[in-house]
Amino acid sequence: MSKKGSNRRNNRNNNRRNNSSYGSGGSDGGKPGSGRKKAFAVCALIIVCCLCFAAIKYCADRNRDSGGAERQQSTTAGAGPETSGGENGNIPAVDAEDLPGYDGKHYVTVNGNTPEFPDEVTAKAYDASGRLTPYEFYGSLDDLGRCTIAYGCLGEETMPEKGQERGDISPVHPSGWAKAQNWERCHLIAWALSAEDDNPGNLITGTHYLNYDGMRPLEEETERYIWNTGNHVIYMVKPWFSGDELVARGVQMTARSVEDKGKGISFNVYCFNVTPNASIDYATGIVTTKEQAEQEPRLYVINKRSGVFHYPSCEGAQTMSPHNREEVTATRVELTSQGYVPCGYCEP
Ligand SMILES: [Zn+2]
């Protein structure tokens, strides 16, 4: 146990070093004295990034074309690794519409549920003599303070020791953390797998739905597998942000067991950072429940003839005859109590 423990400490110390050397001139946080290797790895990562964004765009387009019907089974987001936050410390921008759309399930599979890892991620799992070496890696925060990526080769060595208790994570305020919105600090790599407490590179602003319903079953599956077999799992978690938004739209989780070549653990999914029945402003972290939305006055467009009310953005509101059209600022409750009926299309 003590040997295992000290290995783990060494691994973790390496990672701390990696993490702190981050964000300066696009360093990938490699070991000291591996400059050429580093440069090569960064180039490779940039290429992989470009490819995967092209893949996302392609898949999203294809989904749109097919009316999104295949979404539950099909590829939707790319396996996108970028570790040092791109050239100027920013995550390359993704449009929300290029990410999978939530339609009631906790997650959708990516790439047919087949894991894909950049070479870097698997290469780091072996030392110079080709021996499997557990490690953890946490990408630096980008210029907007957002998590970029977390990955590693996980095993008993990276897990908390027996009886170890989780430390305090409350001082960390991940990007988009807004007070009193029921946000949870959501570990990219679960504490049970990494023993990482308050590492800011590993904590994002997430909903309970993401944390417990989306991610936890896969984390527990991985944890059980490691305990039962003593094997290792290559594991990568990446939050996906739209544009400059501070709260991630979702989290991609990719894992594959090493010793049995994916027989025990193999998945590649995108979990949604949503709360059913609430709308999230991903730019600010403000969450509005349906009940709150009903209480808050806002602009609606009413059809005086039919008595139907719309959001101003609804096609029904935009094509309405000016003769019947009226704009009002009111709460939803006020309108329904006056007998107005919400449009079935825009569902105001
Ligand atoms: Zn409408």
| Residues near 283 by beta carbon (within 8 Å), at least 6 away in sequence | 176, 244, 245, 246, 247
| 134 and 243 both lie in a single domain | yes
Residue range 87-103: average pLDDT?
73
CA 105, 287, 338, 345 torsion: positive or negative? negative
At 132, which helix (H) or strand (E)? none
319 C-alpha vs ligand 1 centroid, how far in Å?
Answer: 10
| 60 and 205 both lie in a single domain | yes
| 127 and 270 both lie in a single domain | yes
Instruction: Quote the pLDDT of residue 97.
Output: 82
148 inside domain:
yes
Reported as a pLDDT band with limits 50, 70 and 90, residue 14 is very low
215 C-alpha vs ligand 1 centroid, how far in Å?
Answer: 35
- Range of the structural domain that residue 338 is part of: 297-342
| 256 and 144 both lie in a single domain | yes
98 C-alpha vs ligand 1 centroid, how far in Å?
Answer: 24
| 312 and 193 both lie in a single domain | no
| 14 and 41 both lie in a single domain | yes
**Among 191-200, 238-247, 301-310, 327-336, where is mean pLDDT lowest?**
327-336
143 C-alpha vs ligand 1 centroid, how far in Å?
Answer: 39
If one counts the domains in the chain, the total is 2
Instruction: Quote the pLDDT of residue 41.
Output: 53
309 C-alpha vs ligand 1 centroid, how far in Å?
Answer: 7
Residue range 103-141, pLDDT digits in tens: 899 999 999 999 999 999 999 999 999 999 999 999 999
342 C-alpha vs ligand 1 centroid, how far in Å?
Answer: 7
| 157 and 247 both lie in a single domain | yes
137 C-alpha vs ligand 1 centroid, how far in Å?
Answer: 47
289 C-alpha vs ligand 1 centroid, how far in Å?
Answer: 20
| 207 and 308 both lie in a single domain | no
285 C-alpha vs ligand 1 centroid, how far in Å?
Answer: 26
340 C-alpha vs ligand 1 centroid, how far in Å?
Answer: 12
292 inside domain:
no
167 inside domain:
yes
7 C-alpha vs ligand 1 centroid, how far in Å?
Answer: 60
193 inside domain:
yes
274 C-alpha vs ligand 1 centroid, how far in Å?
Answer: 23
| 193 and 301 both lie in a single domain | no
DSSP one-letter code for 293: H
More confident residue, 95 or 39: 95
Contacts 24+ apart (CB under 8 A), 4-11: 4/156, 4/157, 5/161, 7/134, 7/157, 8/134, 8/157, 8/158, 8/195, 11/133, 11/134, 11/135, 11/136, 11/157, 11/158
| 39 and 182 both lie in a single domain | yes
| 148 and 15 both lie in a single domain | yes
Q: How many CB atoms lie within 10 A of CB 180?
A: 7
Domain stop point among 261, 286, 311 = 286
| 158 and 85 both lie in a single domain | yes
Contact 222, 255 (CB under 8 A): yes
Mean pLDDT of the chain: 79
291 inside domain:
no
243 C-alpha vs ligand 1 centroid, how far in Å?
Answer: 27
Residue type, 262: G
